[in-house]
């Protein structure tokens, strides 16, 4: 049996002015200005959660290749990602290691720009935001490439970004020419072009 909340029609909801009579006027709060130290502390806490082993920033070569140069549906915008270690040292970085089980590339941003050089992405950091859900087991998402090693995997752009709904109605890109680029932990990819028709 479900409990149902019953609203008494005779109940009188007090007006805001009545609260002021009892409690006095509301206290106006002023937010403390954000200082450089506060911003640095917040960034340090985030890095500690994302990078508990304090790995150095990875030095990677990131390349993307689109599956299709022409798309009619945003969900068809897919690419093959190749990450290569062209240095002479091991490179450790966050990566989605689970085939088909995790939708995003962790700590990776993605941007799509139209022919007028305007981004059509509302949030280009969906994968950055999703990283928060992985903090608990973050170590299991680190991957190490030895010198000259590489890995390759296919992704859907729809799993990486939130489109700007003021420009992209019903999740569709307006017709036109676009470019796409990833930035994987401060390692920018090549820029690729495609056409939405």
Domains of the chain and any CATH numbers: 61-196 (2.60.40.2970)
What pLDDT was estimated at residue 31? 47
What pLDDT was estimated at residue 114? 93
pLDDT < 70 positions in the chain: 1-54, 97-104, 124-137
What pLDDT was estimated at residue 50? 60
What pLDDT was estimated at residue 196? 94
Residue 3 burial by Cβ neighbours in a 10 Å radius (0-12, 13-18, 19+):
exposed
What pLDDT was estimated at residue 48? 59
What pLDDT was estimated at residue 58? 92
Residue 159 burial by Cβ neighbours in a 10 Å radius (0-12, 13-18, 19+):
middle
Q: What is the pLDDT of residues 15-51, one digit of tens each?
A: 445 434 544 444 444 444 545 666 666 656 656 566 6
Alpha-helical regions (H) of 25-175: 36-50, 126-131
What does the DSSP 8-state code read for residue 9? T
Backbone angles phi, psi at 134, to 5 degrees: -105, 0
Round to whole Å and give the CA distance between 75 and 196. 12
What pLDDT was estimated at residue 5? 35
Residue holding tokens 């689970």? Answer: 98
What pLDDT was estimated at residue 81? 93
What pLDDT was estimated at residue 74? 87
Residue holding tokens 């009579």? Answer: 21
CA atoms within 13 A on the CB side of 184: 22
What pLDDT was estimated at residue 24? 47
Q: Do 138 and 54 touch, CB atoms closer than 8 A? A: no
Side by side, which strands form the sheet with 192-196?
70-71, 192-196, 176-184, 108-114
């Amino acid at each position: 049996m479900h409990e149902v909340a019953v609203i008494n029609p005779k109940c009188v909801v007090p007006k805001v002015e009545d609260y002021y009579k009892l409690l006095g006027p509301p206290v106006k709060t002023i937010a403390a200005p954000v200082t450089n130290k506060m911003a640095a502390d917040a960034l340090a806490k985030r890095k500690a959660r994302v990078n508990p082993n304090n790995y150095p920033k990875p030095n990677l070569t990131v390349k993307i290749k689109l599956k299709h140069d022409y798309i009619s549906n945003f969900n068809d915008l897919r690419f093959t990602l190749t990450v290569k270690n062209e240095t002479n040292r091991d490179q450790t970085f966050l990566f989605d290691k689970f085939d088909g089980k995790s939708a995003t590339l962790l700590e990776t941003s993605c941007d799509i720009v139209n022919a007028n050089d305007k981004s059509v992405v509302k949030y280009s950091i969906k994968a950055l935001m999703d990283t928060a859900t992985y903090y608990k087991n973050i170590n299991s998402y680190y991957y190490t490439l030895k010198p000259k090693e590489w890995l390759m995997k296919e992704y859907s752009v729809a799993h990486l970004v939130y489109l700007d709904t003021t420009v992209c109605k019903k999740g569709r890109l307006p017709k036109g020419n676009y470019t796409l680029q990833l930035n994987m932990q401060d390692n920018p990819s090549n820029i690729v072009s495609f056409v939405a028709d």
